[in-house]
Amino acid sequence: MYYVMMPSHDIRRNLATEQYLLNQSTFDEPLVLFYIQKPCVIVGRNQNVRAEVDLAYAKEHQITITRRLSGGGAVYDDLGNLSFSFVVNADHESFGNFKVVTQPIIEALHEMGATGAEVSGRNDLLIDGKKFSGNAMYTKNKKMYSHGTLMLDVDLDEVSRVLTVSEKKLASKGTKSVRSRVTNLKPYLAKEYQGISTEAFRDRLLLHLFNAKTMESIKSQEYQLTQEDEQAIDQLVLDIYGNDNWVFGEEPKYTIKREEKFTGGLMEANISVEKGRISAIAIYGDYFSQKDTKEIADLLIGCRYDREALEHVLAEITVDDYFSNISKAEFIQLLVD
């Protein structure tokens, strides 16, 4: 296994680096990436930014907003958060199996005294019933990354100020607010780690993953970005993560808005209907997907807006490819019931 410690504190560059390395075929072993960033919000691939983020507050407080390639929900990061990513061949782990992928992280946290840390639900890591890590996956060309956050010492008040989470999502968690269901890891660590910095926390996790005692002993496993790599990453920042068209998307006006919470995640459908047929549709949510949601949305354009017609159009479509753990019947229920 190789590791990459990203020097940038800009989430847009860090996500671009992650994507670039995923697309490289030169690695004969898995990669583990660690990155730390200044205040930012990262929304999931399929989410509606304006419904998830207080944009005025983010602008006033210089909180960067970007969109990632993977699904799942929006997260707030600052310099008290450590992000990690495992890049592997897609056939090594099944898509959505967060328990297997995050097990090395859980074991490292137990070793540092946070013995109550556990995987819970679809993609969360919890301690004392509260979330300290959200995780997501993305797969392309037989490779996959599984990335997540580790809230070591994040400003928790900022989480509830900048994120505007759906009441249905909060209700499904049995909690009243964003602030009440998240926590930092630092109070749960052993006494000797109570004053640990985010960088030192990163190094401690890395040593555990490599079963090593010193950073010097694993130096040969560190991948150093070349000038060519840096130029390609710069272009990804311009084209994607720093591009408003990618981050915010084009949002036509819709006549129907529907929202439901399923086992596979929260889903929102915005639909325009003209003369009884779907003329525009956008699907948002914190669900995970292996295929681009836009493909199934485009398929529905021109379809008669009733259950029978939707069932006919979707008859040969594997809906689970677009909305993991959400059935075809549930998807149709979202659209018309």
24 Rama sector, left if φ>0, alpha if ψ -120 to 50, beta otherwise: beta
Phi, psi (rounded to 5 degrees) for 277:
-125, 155
Question: Bridge partners of 74?
Answer: none
| Cα separation values, 155 from 20, 36, 179, 248, 276, Å | 30, 14, 10, 25, 49
Angle between helices 198-209 and 98-111 (to 10 degrees): 110
List the one residue out of 262, 238, 254 whose CA is nearest residue 326. 262
Helical ranges in the chain per DSSP H:
11-22, 49-52, 55-60, 98-111, 156-162, 167-173, 198-209, 227-236, 244-248, 293-300, 307-313, 328-336
pLDDT digits (tens, 9 = 90+) for 209-257: 999 999 999 999 999 899 999 999 999 999 999 999 899 876 666 788 8
Please enumerate in sequence order all residues whose Cβ is within 8 A of that of 185, keeping only pairs 6 or more positions apart, or say none: 109, 114, 117, 127, 132, 150, 151, 152, 153
252 torsion bin: left (phi>0), alpha (psi -120 to 50), beta (else): beta
Series of mean pLDDT values for 10-residue runs along the chain (337 residues): 94 96 79 96 90 91 95 93 89 64 92 93 85 88 86 95 68 45 94 96 96 94 92 97 88 79 91 89 91 92 91 93 92 89
Classify burial at 299, counting beta carbons within 10 Å of its beta carbon; exposed 0-12, middle 13-18, buried 19 or more.
middle
Q: Which residues of the chain form CATH 3.30.390.50?
A: 256-336
* CA dist., res. 183 & res. 180, Å (int): 8
Q: Domain 256-336 belongs to what topology?
A: Enolase-like; domain 1 (3.30.390)
Topology of the domain comprising 2-248:
BirA Bifunctional Protein; domain 2 (3.30.930)
pLDDT at position 96 is 56
Domain limits, CATH 3.30.930.10, in the chain: 2-248
186-192-195-197 Cα dihedral, nearest 10 degrees? -80
Contacts 24+ apart (CB under 8 A), 228-237: 229/20, 232/20, 233/13, 233/16, 233/17, 233/20, 234/16, 236/16, 236/19, 236/20, 237/12, 237/13, 237/16
What is the pLDDT at residue 173? 47
Q: What was the pLDDT predicted at 69?
A: 92
Quote the pLDDT of residue 168: 52
pLDDT at position 212, please? 95
Query: Facing residues of 269 across strands?
Result: 258, 283
What is this structure's pTM? 0.78
Of 55, 96, 45, 74, the C-alpha closest to 284 is 45
